[in-house]
Structure 1
């Protein structure tokens, strides 16, 4: 803190000294020079803009000393010095604080602000206050040094305002632009630049008659300076223009004093006024022109820089290397010091790349950075930007801020060596999540960042975000690709294992004569492994429906206790095989609006999952709780439990704890994903809890309840009664079909043989057709009660066949009940079959009992249809009624 106070007072005294000395030098020249040129005003404004508003006492002290040395009393000197200080404060507040002046003067807005706020407006105050003070005290004019004359006061006021205004226009810009490094360095070592500088010097001397040749042009020769200013502006930018204006002012004033140049009038004062008005117009034109040119160049550089940044970021290699190259591009175009911070997997802030215009300062910056905290919850700075996702612009870093930073980081004087002047921090966001920040610091260049700079920094951060998004997508694609490979390996294993069992037992049955008990065991094994394959395929189809958004429900009022009891009862045999106790602890009555088939599937998956991961001798408990209009079903096991890190992803598809070739449990990891989707479609949710490994787990299903009155009434009229009266046979008995005439259409001889065997065994009369054309011929020759047809057949497929049949009159079988028996099992294919004219869609594989049940349903439909094809239903819809 002592260092800050010392520096502040040192600068205040230095400013006061410079103010006083520059004024005293003018007193050595003719009085008229001080009346038209007053460097202290421009010098003091530039100093305060560069080093801070707190230097205003230096202006007050310097102006008071000058006034005192002019013969004014202490009070009058204080009033005049207060006017000068007030004018300086107005200029600083307007131009510096509110308009955020960039000292490089490379933007049109900066130059316009300096001209209007600094030169035209603020200088009105000291002139007005000074003349009022002279009027009150009766002192002689401070401008012309003539005795007091009230009639001459307007002229004195104008001269006072003009000299201050010209001081701001000439001296302030040249100090500002040479105090900060330019974005584009002056190219003075080339022959073209050297020739242009010599041309400028030669032209100025020629205009002011220091060289012969142009005196015959009279005052018009002064306009030769305008094209010169244009050339300087294009070549050298703000530094060249401000320096040329300063040089013209010095040469012009000295020449006019010695009666040279194109602005000579009646007396020295008038000549200097003519000169100053011309220089003012010339300077304003040159500075504005330079600002427009600089802005155009800056825009071109930014576009070029963004293109180069995109090229660098798209290069092959590690991200850290590309980011380091990008940071090196940013210095010194955008900053003296810049870096990229990213949040790592441990949620700590990690420095990825850093660059500094000075290598020694870069090492110092790295040492300072090593003291910064890594925790993301650290207040302020980069951490705050990452947490909030909002950019930060600190236009000017005060010395107090540096002291505070040094104290917090415990880096001592090293913070002063960095010399930060202005800061920008922009977030790097991907998919609405902030992953890091891009930081730009201005130090030795003295550059103050503006809103335009922040917009450009945000644009650059957007390019970085795009690369991070690409890297994230690539990483996710690789993870997904590995997951796909793991899934395909698991799928191959899960499909090949039952196939191997099936093929093995078929070979045994074919080659060996087994006892009746062995044969029964073999058939049970074949049936069990075939069922395993069917379940795997059904799960895959359900997942594809979920992904495609085509998972549909056929909801109706259900008694929840019945569904739960049926699910528990149907899994008792599976639990008994592992000597697991499966118990229904409590089954509270309640109603839900649900798809019975899908709800049974949901419960079955939960119970099967619990049994799978529970060792022999364990226990699986199921109970139902009801509270108001919500029902909660809990499935609890005493199995291996779920690791804490796996709990958040336990319901994701293709996820299995301990997956891979060494996993101890089979399956594809689809069951729980299907459970969650079914639960959400019913307006519920399913959650999992576990206290850890070998501590068991509990799955909780929450479902909305349903207030139902009159349960047990007819849901679908006569159709419901008809279906309920036709119970599925427990086994195939001769006579079940009672001579039902069936037309069976399939291009596969094996399917024809198998289905014909089941239907004949059940008492049906079957006619077989190997193609659609053959089926149409049989329909013309005979009368059938039911049509069973495949879909995928060569030539005319099943869809075309049923459309042709529906086009026939009833006497030729146009209204025959029909079922599609097909391996096309997706919902869209079911819908397509029903729309084509089938009444049932039966996916393969299908057992004999289910096949006979479907034929019975179709036969009953035929009895209610009359002359029109009966209403169509999917097999799942019919079975659920």
Structure 2
């Protein structure tokens, strides 16, 4: 057959039960031996029976199932004492002792619901009741058995029964209370000061007891001198102090009385002195226990009040409140902190019902809160949930609730207790954090998109700048390779000029975009006739339209005057026309017209080209946006021309609109400006006319105009000199500011043309040095010819001492015009 081995848990329980059985038996054996040693006549009893107290404490602490250990230990005690008695009397007395403590333990457990730590007055009273029951049962059975065998005469039955009964009660009050108080309850504080005072009390009690029960006999009242020190221990240290002090007082009293010394032992007959000793021990122990437990309860109430105060402070600091729900009645009790959090009226803040509370829970959370008890069980009695509570003033608070269920002996859920915390501020912080994270993610995506657009834009810029540059460099190499026919030469030069102008326009668009982004795009408003603006723009794009075999129609009657910047308006019209020419297939048509619509004048540019897809139409004026942004797109461009159109038009107070019936059906762009109703002034017209001296030679009254060109770039310096010489000027050049100052002093030019960005001494320092020369040379008119073309660069050049700002790349017409304007012929001394 297979061997059956117990599980580890069963083995542990068996081992523990066996060990406790041995311990209970040994303890009872030792205390019973003391009883035998203290017996007044060696047979009938003892003044104090500590065995009853020890046995009752064991059954209360460990359970009534250990009664056999008490029975066997009592028999063993008889055998060890060598008492010669009737054979069946010793089992009868052992049975009496066992039945006594079993009956007392049963009564205490069944009706008393005793706290073994003796923390309440009812615990002490029920311990006394249990002692009375145990003493009565044991005395009755034991004395009756002794009378049956003749050890107790019939006339001494009552006195013997009383002595047994009093001894058992004394044992319960002294030994049982000591074992329960120190064997259960909270650990004793480890502070040395508390232990020192407790030991001092015990020592004082022992000293006074020894003086009373072993000293010279005097009046009987001397025995009550032990009470003050016993009360000291009881009131100062509670039940544990009282039981610890009672032990030496009882031991010393029993020892002295049994030995026949002291105030009781030497003054009375044995029967009388034992009765007096029993009365003293019973009265002293019961009085001390009652006073001690009352003192403990008072200290406990004070400590509880202090803990409740601290709890309320903690709840208030944490914006929390505690609650208790009686599930049988539905009543809800809450701590006062809920009034501020929930904002409920006085009658509902600290008490109410479950239904009245649920009525204020947010409707989306109400059903979930009502099901709180659903997942609770004895093994998992705690649940945690968050929900919203609607205050009477309409505010919504967010609550975090921890709720614990309390179950009865049958496993039925009877109560709920818990803590509810106001987490509204934390919820707001979480929401703000989520919003910050959302904004951060959005910002990161925008930054990534901006980086992607920048990279795409830079690639597009590189492509758009390299395309005309390729044509310029290619034709330059072709023309340099050898003689060409006149027709090929003119074609190549025209291609170079056209691509150079295209590259210049791309750079200007980029600069305008930069100004627009920085809010520095400036206008020079004046009265402008839109017909002149449109005609000039048409003239500018006619060559490109002719090259693509497009029909270019212009319908613009004069008189459509607006208030604006003629150059910027011409840029708007030119961009729209260039856009139309670029997206119209060869053989198509481009039409521009000026129309009046009420209080507005409009420029309408329409074409028969590629049209605009409906999904892209809302984004047609966005910067860097192109309908086809792939590397295989058919039409070049940076995607900023139309963005500049919208910005410039809106700065003039106008509007621009794009219309298209779809891809392949052409497009129409309409720019509308507020009409100027006031009569035109003498200066009305288009952009200022070119100076009349442009085509005339550059001369003073007596000789050719002398111009000094200072530039560190040899090509730029030579181009400017050639432009000037082609119009009859006498030109000197210098490649640095220092050389320019030396030439200036010897050459004495009529006009000075200087670059700004030169190595060593720049143009700003150069012009300041010129203005510091003797008066005649210091007043030489000067032109800043520079690639620094921002508005701030222009302002800085004028502030440094230049009279004009000419951006690179320069044109012959532009250079001649500005030099003519500054020449002494226009500004005589």
Please report the TM-score for the alignment, with normalisation by the length of structure 1.
0.50
Task: Report the equivalent of 1:635.
Answer: 605
Task: Report the equivalent of 2:788.
Answer: 824
Q: Deviations over 1:497-548 (max 9, x none)?
A: 2222222212211223211111100111111111121111111222222223
Q: Secondary structure at the match of 2:587?
A: coil
Q: Secondary structure at the match of 2:634?
A: coil
- The verdict on how the C-alpha distance between 1:195 and 1:631 changes in structure 2, with shifts beyond 3 A counting, is farther
Contact 1:214 1:221 in 2 (8 A): no
Deviation at 1:826, TM superposition (A): 1.9
1:216 to 217, 228, 232: 232
2:761 to 768, 791, 796: 796
Contact 2:403 2:418 in 1 (8 A): no
Task: Report the equivalent of 1:674.
Answer: 644
Q: Secondary structure at the match of 2:559?
A: coil
Deviation at 1:617, TM superposition (A): 2.9
- The verdict on how the C-alpha distance between 1:219 and 1:714 changes in structure 2, with shifts beyond 3 A counting, is same
Q: Secondary structure at the match of 1:602?
A: helix
Task: Report the equivalent of 2:722.
Answer: 757
Task: Report the equivalent of 2:544.
Answer: 574
Q: Distance between the aligned counterparts of 1:748 and 1:400, measured in 2?
A: 79
1:852 to 793, 798, 816: 816
Alignment map for 1:188-587 (pairs within 5 Å): 215-216=231-232, 260=290, 283-293=304-314, 396=358, 401=363, 423-424=387-388, 452-585=422-555, 587=557
1:740 to 688, 701, 705: 705
Q: Distance between the aligned counterparts of 1:486 and 1:768, measured in 2?
A: 42
Greater displacement, 685-694 / 814-823: 685-694
Deviation at 1:603, TM superposition (A): 1.6
Task: Report the equivalent of 1:616.
Answer: 586
For structure 1, the 5+ residue unaligned runs are 1-193, 204-211, 225-255, 265-270, 300-393, 407-412, 427-437, 867-881
Task: Report the equivalent of 1:864.
Answer: 827
Contact 1:676 1:685 in 2 (8 A): yes
Contact 2:527 2:684 in 1 (8 A): no
Contact 1:745 1:788 in 2 (8 A): yes
Q: Secondary structure at the match of 1:571?
A: helix
- The verdict on how the C-alpha distance between 1:803 and 1:415 changes in structure 2, with shifts beyond 3 A counting, is farther
Task: Report the equivalent of 1:646.
Answer: 616
- The verdict on how the C-alpha distance between 1:454 and 1:560 changes in structure 2, with shifts beyond 3 A counting, is same
Contact 1:787 1:816 in 2 (8 A): yes
- The verdict on how the C-alpha distance between 1:830 and 1:713 changes in structure 2, with shifts beyond 3 A counting, is closer
Deviation at 1:221, TM superposition (A): 7.2
Contact 2:537 2:570 in 1 (8 A): yes
Are residue 663 (structure 1) and residue 633 (structure 2) matched? yes
- The verdict on how the C-alpha distance between 1:397 and 1:706 changes in structure 2, with shifts beyond 3 A counting, is farther
Task: Report the equivalent of 2:779.
Answer: 815
Contact 2:401 2:418 in 1 (8 A): yes
Task: Report the equivalent of 2:744.
Answer: 779
Q: Distance between the aligned counterparts of 2:300 and 2:434, measured in 1?
A: 48
Q: Secondary structure at the match of 1:546?
A: helix
Contact 1:396 1:421 in 2 (8 A): no
1:767 to 700, 708, 732: 732
Q: Distance between the aligned counterparts of 1:425 and 1:700, measured in 2?
A: 58
Contact 2:529 2:558 in 1 (8 A): no
Contact 1:486 1:660 in 2 (8 A): no
Task: Report the equivalent of 2:563.
Answer: 593
- The verdict on how the C-alpha distance between 1:401 and 1:629 changes in structure 2, with shifts beyond 3 A counting, is same
Q: Deviations over 1:351-370 (max 9, x none)?
A: xxxxxxxxxxxxxxxxxxxx
Contact 1:728 1:849 in 2 (8 A): no
Q: Deviations over 1:15-57 (max 9, x none)?
A: xxxxxxxxxxxxxxxxxxxxxxxxxxxxxxxxxxxxxxxxxxx
Deviation at 1:624, TM superposition (A): 3.6
Please report the TM-score for the alignment, with normalisation by the length of structure 2.
0.53
Task: Report the equivalent of 1:385.
Answer: none
Deviation at 1:666, TM superposition (A): 0.7
Q: Deviations over 1:763-804 (max 9, x none)?
A: 111122222233323333343221111112232221112112
- The verdict on how the C-alpha distance between 1:697 and 1:295 changes in structure 2, with shifts beyond 3 A counting, is farther
Task: Report the equivalent of 1:64.
Answer: none
Q: Secondary structure at the match of 1:557?
A: strand
- The verdict on how the C-alpha distance between 1:781 and 1:592 changes in structure 2, with shifts beyond 3 A counting, is same
Q: Distance between the aligned counterparts of 2:458 and 2:764, measured in 1?
A: 33
